[in-house]
Amino acid sequence: MNIDNLLADRTRKMSVNTIREILKVVAQPGMVSLAGGIPAPESFPIDILQKLTQSVLEQYGPASLQYDPTEGFAPLRHALAKDLAARKGIQTAPEDIFIASGSQGVLDAAGKVFISKGDPVAVESPTYLGAIQAFDPYEPRYVTMTSDDQGLIPESLEKVLDKEPVKFIYLVPTFQNPTGRTIPLERRQCIADIIQARDVLLIEDDPYGDLRYAGQPIPPIKTLAPEHVIYVSTLSKVFAPGLRIGYYIAPQKVRDWLVIVKQGVDLHTSTFNQALAAEYIQGGHLEKHLPHIIRLYQPKKDAMLSALEAYLPEAFTWSKPEGGMFVWVEGPAGYDMQALYHRCIKQNVAFVPGQFFFTDPAAGTHTMRLNFTMADEATIDAAIKKLADVIKASSI
Amino acid sequence: MNIDNLLADRTRKMSVNTIREILKVVAQPGMVSLAGGIPAPESFPIDILQKLTQSVLEQYGPASLQYDPTEGFAPLRHALAKDLAARKGIQTAPEDIFIASGSQGVLDAAGKVFISKGDPVAVESPTYLGAIQAFDPYEPRYVTMTSDDQGLIPESLEKVLDKEPVKFIYLVPTFQNPTGRTIPLERRQCIADIIQARDVLLIEDDPYGDLRYAGQPIPPIKTLAPEHVIYVSTLSKVFAPGLRIGYYIAPQKVRDWLVIVKQGVDLHTSTFNQALAAEYIQGGHLEKHLPHIIRLYQPKKDAMLSALEAYLPEAFTWSKPEGGMFVWVEGPAGYDMQALYHRCIKQNVAFVPGQFFFTDPAAGTHTMRLNFTMADEATIDAAIKKLADVIKASSI
C-alpha cells in the first residue's frame, strides 16, 4: 500500500539514525569496537539475579506480574528514596520519585509535555544523542550552549537565556556522553543560581554519576536548585540495562503531566523488573556490587588514557574523565574524522565520529567519541595504537 | 517555579484521566469492583515463572540483561512467529514481528508516526480508552464509525472513507473493550475488501482473541488484508501484564518508522522479560496454561450473563460475548448512568459509566462497562443483584 501520504509531518523529517548504522558495521566479527556505549556484560550481577527473582516471587507473588500504577512500584520508590539520600545527598520522599522505562522514557515524556513545534530547547554542544532522538519528534528548535573541559560554561547559559525563552535546558553534568566531561561544583552552583533567578527548568540527566573511578563525588544540581530541576537517572549502568528501569524526581507541578503522558505511552514500567530492582537496592546488593563494577572499569579507563598519551600525535587532545564510559578526542581544526573512521574500520578498529553528537550538522567534524567499558585493557591499548598508526599514516 | 508557560500546546489540552480517578475510588476496601479491566491474579502462571527465570539466566546469561535491538529479542520473535502461525493462522516471518512495551507502546508509536495535528482518525464508538490516550497527544480529529451487536458496520466505514482521508482506522474486532462485541467473519471480509480497495491502513488491536470461552475462533482481519493491517497483540492477558510485552506485525513500509520512533521512546522493551516470554511460548507453557485461564474466566462470564438475565429490568440490554473480559450494558434512552454510578458506589458496587469510551462527550450517557474477570461467580451474582436493586429503587 501507499504509505507516504499517511506519514505525519514530524515523520517526514525523520531519518534513519546514523549511529545505528555505524553500530551495525561495528558488530562485524573481528572488529574492535570503541564505538558502543554499553556496559560490559561482566558488570551484570547475574549470580544475584536468580536469588532476586526467587525473592520477588515469594515476597510479592502475583502483584509482581500485575498491572501497576503509572507512577511506579511502591517498594522500588521507597528503596530509591533511601538510596538517593544515602549515596547522592538527594533528600526526597518515595512519593516524589517516579519510575520510567529507562531514562529514555523520561526524556520522551518531557519532550511531549513541554515542546510545541519550534519551541527553543537549550542543549550542550555536543550533547547526548538519545536525548535528541527523544526530543526530535516534538520538533523543537535547538539552541546550543558552549562547553569547555569543565563542561557547560555558565556565561554561555546566561547568554542563551537572555535571548531565548527556552522550554528547558538539557544537561548531563557528570561524565557526559559523549565527552566524559564533568561540571565542577562551583559551576554547578552558578548554574543553579541562574536557573533559580530566571525561573527556568533544567533536566539533569545523570546516568553515569555512580561510575566514579577517581576523585570525589560532586553533588547533583538537583540538590542546589531542587524546585527547578528534573533529576533523571537509571539503573542501566549499576544493575542491568536490559531491565529498562529509569527514574526521575520532578518539581511538584511538572510531575503530574509526566505521569499522564507516560500512561498513554506504556501504562507503566515492567512491575516484575521494578520488583527486582527494589530487591536489588533494598537487599544491599547495589551497594555491594557497585565497587565490583568500578574495579572492572577503572583499569580500562586508565588503559585508554595511557594509550592515548603514548600513541596519539601531539596535535590531538582528549578529555581525562574520572569516571563514566567515554573519552572525547579532538583532532586539529579541519581534521576529517569521518574519513579517519572509514580508514580505521578497514583496520578493524571502530569509534563514533563526534559530529553525530552535535545538533549543528557542520559542527564537530574533527572530533570522536571513544568507549572504554567493553574491551579489555590489552585490546584497548592495541586498538588505540592502531588508531594512532592510521592517523599518522594518513597525515604524512 | 512557574510551569504553566512551559507546557506544550498539546499538554494544555490534556486532562486528568477520569477512569483513573474512578479506579482510585473503586480501590477502597469493601468495594466489589466490576469497573477494572485487569486479569485475575489467579490467571498468572506464577509456578512456572521460577523455572522460566532460571532457564533464561542459564540459556541467555548476560545477554538477557543487556541492551538489545529496538526491533525485539530474536528468540521471542521466532517463538511468536511459530505460535501465530499455529494458533491464529497468521503466517509471518520472525523478522516481520516487532516487540513493543505492551500494545500501548504500538498505539503510541502509530500515533507519532501518522498523526499530525487535526488529521482524521477513524474509531469505533465506543472505542478502547487506552487508544484514545495514546493518540490524543498527537491531536487527531476523531471520526466515528457506527457499530451494532456485531461490531463495526462496514457501510459506516465506507461512508467515513467517502468523506475523510483518514490516517488510519482503529478497531478491536474481537471481544472489544468496552463492548465485548466481536465482528463476524462476513463483516471482516467486507472490511478487508474496503480497506484494500481504498488503500487505507487499519490498526487491528487484538488483546482478547485468545480468551474465547465458547464458539469458534474467527480469523483476524490481518489474514484477509495482510498488506493493509498493523496487527497488534499482547501477552498481557495470556502470560502477565506486569511484564509489558506487546507485539505487532506491520506492512513493510510502515515498520521502519515504528521502530525509529520506538527507539526515541524507550530504546527497546525489557530484554529479560522478552526472554521470559520466549521461554514461556517456546517451552509449550502458553499452550498448556491458556486452557487454565479459559476455565477460570468462562464461569465468571456465565455468572455475569445469568445474573443480568435474572435481575436487570426489561428496559436494559447487554452484549453476550463469547470471550474477553467485558459486558456492555445499555439502559433506556436518556438513562443517566453516571448518577447510577454514584448511587452504586455508596452500595459498594462499582462499574465504569460508558460515556468515557466515546470520543463525543455527549454520547453513551446511558451505557456502562462491566468487567467479569476479577470477582468470583458468587460475588458477581450478588453485585449484579445489588446493581439491579439500585436501578429499580431509583427508577420507581
C-alpha closest to that of B317 among B325, B304, B328: B328
pLDDT of residue A272: 98
Mean pLDDT of B104-111: 98
The H or E element that residue B87 is part of is helix B74-88
Mean pLDDT of A118-136: 96
User: To the nearest whole number, what is the mean pLDDT of chain B?
Assistant: 95
pLDDT of residue A32: 87
CA A263 remoteness from chain centre: 23
pLDDT of residue A17: 66
Residue in this structure with the C-alpha cell 545538533, named with its chain if needed: A359
pLDDT at B27 over 80: no
Contact B46 A65 (CB under 8 A): yes
Closest residue to B61, CB basis, from A46, A101, A244: A46
Phi, psi of A232 (to 5 degrees): -120, 130
Show residues of chain A in contact with B200, CB under 8 Å: 1
Closest residue to A201, CB basis, from B6, B11, B201: B6
Closest residue to B44, CB basis, from A8, A62, A251: A62
Contact A66 B168 (CB under 8 A): no
Contact A57 B63 (CB under 8 A): no
Q: What percent of chain B has pLDDT over 90?
A: 90
- Contact between B281 and B77 under an 8 Å Cβ cutoff? The reply is no
The H or E element that residue B196 is part of is helix B185-198
Site from B17, B68, B244, B280 to mutate, A interface, most A CB atoms within 10 angstroms:
B244
Residues 269-298 of A with CB under 8 A from B: 269-273
d(CA A76, CA A59): 13
C-alpha closest to that of A297 among A280, A317, A322: A322
pLDDT of residue A395: 64
pLDDT of residue B13: 80
Residues 166-205 of A with CB under 8 A from B: 167-168, 199-201
pLDDT at A64 over 70: yes
pLDDT at A1 over 90: no
Our CA-based measurement puts residue B395 at a distance from the nearest CA of chain A, in whole angstroms, of 37
Mean pLDDT of B355-366: 94
Q: What percent of chain A has pLDDT over 70?
A: 98
Contact A8 B115 (CB under 8 A): yes
Show residues of chain B in contact with A236, CB under 8 Å: 67
Find, in chain B, the residue whose alpha carbon is nearest to that of A1: B199
Mean pLDDT of A109-135: 97
Mean pLDDT of B274-300: 97
d(CA B89, CA B105): 24
Please name each of the domains of chain B with its CATH number: 4-44+288-395 (3.90.1150.10), 63-283 (3.40.640.10)
pLDDT of residue A16: 63
d(CA A327, CA A317): 10
Closest residue to A242, CB basis, from B244, B253, B270: B270
pLDDT at A275 over 60: yes
Our CA-based measurement puts residue B361 at a distance from the nearest CA of chain A, in whole angstroms, of 19
pLDDT of residue B25: 74
Summarised one tens digit per residue, pLDDT across range B366-392 is: 999 999 999 999 999 999 999 999 999
- Stated pTM of the model: 0.96
Our CA-based measurement puts residue B87 at a distance from the nearest CA of chain A, in whole angstroms, of 24
pLDDT of residue A33: 85
Closest residue to A1, CB basis, from B3, B50, B228: B228
Show residues of chain B in contact with A119, CB under 8 Å: 8
Contact A272 B268 (CB under 8 A): no
pLDDT at A22 over 90: no
Closest residue to B6, CB basis, from A114, A256, A263: A114
Summarised one tens digit per residue, pLDDT across range A345-377 is: 999 999 999 999 999 989 999 999 999 999 999
d(CA A337, CA A330): 9
- Interhelix angle B271-282/B285-311, nearest 10 degrees: 90
Mean pLDDT of B40-55: 94
Contact A227 B1 (CB under 8 A): yes
User: To the nearest whole number, what is the mean pLDDT of chain A?
Assistant: 95
Show residues of chain A in contact with B269, CB under 8 Å: 244
How many CB contacts within 8 angstroms connect chain A with chain B? 239
Range of A9-13, B88-92, B104-108 with top mean pLDDT: B104-108
Closest residue to B114, CB basis, from A1, A8, A105: A8
pLDDT at A20 over 80: no
B47 close contact with A: CB closer than 8 A: no
Find, in chain A, the residue whose alpha carbon is nearest to that of B5: A167
d(CA B157, CA B322): 24
Mean pLDDT of A253-273: 95
pLDDT at A186 over 90: yes
Mention every residue, 6+ apart, whose C-beta is less than 8 A from residue B252.
none
Closest residue to A67, CB basis, from B3, B138, B242: B242
pLDDT at B275 over 90: yes
Mean pLDDT of B319-346: 96
Mean pLDDT of B306-327: 98
Show residues of chain A in contact with B102, CB under 8 Å: 266-267
Show residues of chain B in contact with A116, CB under 8 Å: 8-10
Summarised one tens digit per residue, pLDDT across range A195-217 is: 999 999 999 999 999 999 999 99
pLDDT of residue A31: 87
User: Which band of pLDDT confidence, cut at 50, 70 and 90, is reported for residue B16?
Assistant: low
Mention every residue, 6+ apart, whose C-beta is less than 8 A from residue B311.
B384, B385, B387, B388, B389
Mention every residue, 6+ apart, whose C-beta is less than 8 A from residue B331.
B315, B316, B337, B340, B366, B367, B368, B391
Show residues of chain A in contact with B265, CB under 8 Å: 101, 104-105, 108, 134, 265-266
Summarised one tens digit per residue, pLDDT across range B192-232 is: 999 999 999 999 999 999 999 999 999 999 999 999 999 99
Mean pLDDT of A300-328: 98
pLDDT of residue A28: 79
pLDDT of residue B17: 66
pLDDT of residue B33: 85
Find, in chain B, the residue whose alpha carbon is nearest to that of A139: B8
User: Which band of pLDDT confidence, cut at 50, 70 and 90, is reported for residue B395?
Assistant: low
pLDDT at B18 over 80: no
User: Which band of pLDDT confidence, cut at 50, 70 and 90, is reported for residue A30?
Assistant: confident
Our CA-based measurement puts residue A55 at a distance from the nearest CA of chain B, in whole angstroms, of 10
pLDDT at A120 over 90: yes
Closest residue to A102, CB basis, from B108, B115, B266: B266
Q: H helices of chain A, where?
A: 9-12, 18-26, 46-60, 74-88, 102-114, 129-135, 154-163, 185-198, 252-266, 271-282, 285-311, 337-346, 377-395
